């Protein structure tokens, strides 16, 4: 009822109705078996450009299907508050003149919210529309989250043999013609009709199953309240699962909390551990962070502090280590990363290769590098000679240059060895000491200050144990955003 009122309100705007195209005849409702999953809000937006953070909406159209109710339709041109670039005007047909007297997103936000709230957000290339709607709400100081169903992915899943899943290709293939294509309502309408058509052609159950799997629809654990997963934000962060008492049974980190937590309970992706968690979980908590770093560090800290029953992460991480080569031997030793001495800044005498997740994978990597570069198995300790001068096995089949039987000099072999393993050499810490990294999440207006030293994170001033995930993220981030790291050097304090 309320939303039909909304549609009327929008159409009643005199300045708006002038510019609205005719409202396409209300589409037939979707099959009940599909709507049993929930409401489906088909949406399409037109914009001033391609970037959800900088560009603005110029038109929104929404068709909402609910069980036991006729479909509801809402659309409006939107004044973007900025000029529409000429090439976009000709692409969408929406001109500056058309939106001049249109309402702003602020004016439309209640109607848009009401049309979308509690429904699946369905669109062709849905990330685009979702990004724009989310940012439009954010600019008004409102958080908007929804479960997103992309009909490009749905089309791929339902018609894997077809090539081309853009809206033009889909419309042509299924003969879905409307006369206002490339405008928001026309495109939302084609998208809805595509899903309807697929239900007719392939059976509703097939479409529902595909939608369910794309939505990673969780089967709610037996002891969680119905609404437990609704409020999860899209932001990065750490989540904690609790059982019957106050100790977490599992702690995890996520780039997107909502998607990650729900994946634990979505039947397509459940691991044996997820099934156990699903049986034991009674409530959950989450702590949003500004980014991946913050999530990674907070997870490590909390896991270490609370030792949740079902966390294998920490135990797995304790096995991380390096192969080290000293000046006088070509046989590497295995050094656990948890060995604090490994990270003394002055320790430059050894060449450190890694990190590896455990000793066995380090050995495997070394053997592979040895074969690739025709190194000597005896010289690097993969095998042992039974008497001095015995050729190694690869030598016997022509895959070692012969440092074992004197055909290659030790110096040359050593140089080739160092070149071969050099790709995984752990670089020196590129700063004088501690650094501060500002991790920012513009979308959620959050900022975390994180500290690092010698490839390790600091928590409360203390260096945390080496963590391969932190290391990899650090090297990647340094390569791209070196300027975001500030030295918190002793020099500044002097
Ligand atoms: Zn050899």
Beta sheet of 69-77, edge-to-edge order: 69-77, 57-66, 39-47, 119-123, 148-150
Question: What is the Rg, in whole angstroms, of the alpha carbon atoms belonging to the chain?
Answer: 29
Mean pLDDT of the chain: 85
Task: Please determine whether the domains at 2-214 and 237-312 fall in the same fold group of CATH.
Answer: no
CA of 382 to the centre of ligand 1 (A): 10
Sequence-ordered alpha helix ranges (H) in 124-246: 126-139, 151-158, 167-173, 184-202, 204-214
- Cβ atoms of 435 and 488 within 8 Å: the answer is yes
Out of 287-291, 463-467, 490-494, least confident range = 490-494
How many Cα atoms occupy the beta-carbon half-sphere of 436 within 13 Å? 10
Q: Does 181 score more than 60 pLDDT?
A: yes
3-state secondary structure of 249: strand
DSSP 50: S
CA of 204 to the centre of ligand 1 (A): 65
CA of 403 to the centre of ligand 1 (A): 6
How many Cα atoms occupy the beta-carbon half-sphere of 380 within 13 Å? 31
CA of 405 to the centre of ligand 1 (A): 7
Name residue 44's beta-bridge partners.
61
The contacts of residue 419 (CB under 8 Å, 6+ apart) are: 373
The pairs formed by 455-462 with CB atoms below 8 angstroms and a separation of 24 or more are 455/343, 455/426, 455/429, 456/343, 457/297, 457/300, 458/434, 459/297, 459/301
3-state secondary structure of 355: strand
CA of 326 to the centre of ligand 1 (A): 20
pLDDT in tens, 88-106: 998 889 999 999 999 999 9
Distances (CA, A) of 97 to 11, 46, 75, 77, 89: 19, 15, 18, 11, 10
pTM confidence score: 0.58
- Give domain limits for the chain: 2-214, 237-312, 321-424, 435-493
Pick the CATH number of 2-214 from 3.40.50.300, 3.30.470.30, 3.30.420.10, 3.40.50.150: 3.30.420.10
Instruction: Compute φ and ψ for 257, nearest 5 degrees.
Output: -55, -45
pLDDT in tens, 245-295: 888 999 999 999 998 898 888 765 667 788 888 888 999 999 999 998 899
C-alpha–C-alpha distance, residues 479 and 208, integer Å: 44
Q: Does 441 score more than 90 pLDDT?
A: no
How many Cα atoms occupy the beta-carbon half-sphere of 354 within 13 Å? 32
* Angle subtended at Cα 343 by Cα 337 and Cα 344, rounded to the nearest 5 degrees: 150
Q: What is the 3-state secondary structure (H, E, C) of 324-353?
A: EECCCCCCCEEEECCCHHHHCCCCCCCEEE
CATH no. for 237-312: 3.40.1440.10
Of residues 271 and 388, more confidence is placed in 388
pLDDT at position 494, please?
Answer: 37
CA of 392 to the centre of ligand 1 (A): 4
CA of 360 to the centre of ligand 1 (A): 22
CA of 367 to the centre of ligand 1 (A): 13
Summarize the confidence of residues 358-383 as an average pLDDT.
94
CA of 137 to the centre of ligand 1 (A): 66
C-alpha–C-alpha distance, residues 274 and 218, integer Å: 12
Q: Where are the beta strands (DSSP E) in 182-304?
A: 237-242, 248-254, 283-288
């Amino acid at each position: 009822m309320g939303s039909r009122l909304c549609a009327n309100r929008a159409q009643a705007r005199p300045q708006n109705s002038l510019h609205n195209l005719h409202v396409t005849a209300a589409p037939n409702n979707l099959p009940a078996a599909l709507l049993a999953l929930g409401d489906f809000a088909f949406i399409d937006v037109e914009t001033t450009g391609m970037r959800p953070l900088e560009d603005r909406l110029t038109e929104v159209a929404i068709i909402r299907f609910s069980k036991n109710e006729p479909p509801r339709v809402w659309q409006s041109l939107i004044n973007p508050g900025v000029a529409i670039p000429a090439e976009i005007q000709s692409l969408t047909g929406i001109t500056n003149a058309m939106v001049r007297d249109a309402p702003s997103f602020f004016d439309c936000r209640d109607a848009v919210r009401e049309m979308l709230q509690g429904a699946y957000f369905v669109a062709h290339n849905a990330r685009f529309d979702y990004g724009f709607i989310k940012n439009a709400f954010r600019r008004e100081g409102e958080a908007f989250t929804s479960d997103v169903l992309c009909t490009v992915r749905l089309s791929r899943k339902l018609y894997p043999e077809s090539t081309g899943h853009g809206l033009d290709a889909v419309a042509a293939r299924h003969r879905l013609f409307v006369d206002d294509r490339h405008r928001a309502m026309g495109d939302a309408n084609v998208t809805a009709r595509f899903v309807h058509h697929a239900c007719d052609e392939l059976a509703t159950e097939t479409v529902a199953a595909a939608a369910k799997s794309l939505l990673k629809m969780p089967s709610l654990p037996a002891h969680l309240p119905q609404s437990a997963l609704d409020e999860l934000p899209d932001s990065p962060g750490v989540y904690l699962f609790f059982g019957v008492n106050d100790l977490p049974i599992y702690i995890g980190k996520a780039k997107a909390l909502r998607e990650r937590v729900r994946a634990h309970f979505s039947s397509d992706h459940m691991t044996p551990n997820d099934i156990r968690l699903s049986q034991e979980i009674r409530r959950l908590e989450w702590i949003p962070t500004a980014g991946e770093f913050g999530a990674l560090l907070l997870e490590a800290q909390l896991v270490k502090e609370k030792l949740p029953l079902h966390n294998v992460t920490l135990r797995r991480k304790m096995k991380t280590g390096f192969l080290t080569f000293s000046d006088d031997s070509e046989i590497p030793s295995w050094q656990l990363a948890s060995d604090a001495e490994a990270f003394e800044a002055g320790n430059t005498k050894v060449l450190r290769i890694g990190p590896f997740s455990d000793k066995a994978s380090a050995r495997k990597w070394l053997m592979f590098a040895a074969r690739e570069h025709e190194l000597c198995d005896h010289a690097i300790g993969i095998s042992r000679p039974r008497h001095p001068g015995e050729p190694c096995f690869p030598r016997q089949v022509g895959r070692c240059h012969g440092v074992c039987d004197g055909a290659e000099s030790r110096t040359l072999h050593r140089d080739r060895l160092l070149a071969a393993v050099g790709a995984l050499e752990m670089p020196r810490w590129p700063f004088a000491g501690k650094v501060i990294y500002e991790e920012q999440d513009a979308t959620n207006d959050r900022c975390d200050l994180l500290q690092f030293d010698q490839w390790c994170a600091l928590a409360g001033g203390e260096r945390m144990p080496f963590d391969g995930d932190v290391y990899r993220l650090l090297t990647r981030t340094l390569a791209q955003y070196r300027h975001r790291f500030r030295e918190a050097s002793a020099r500044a304090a002097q």
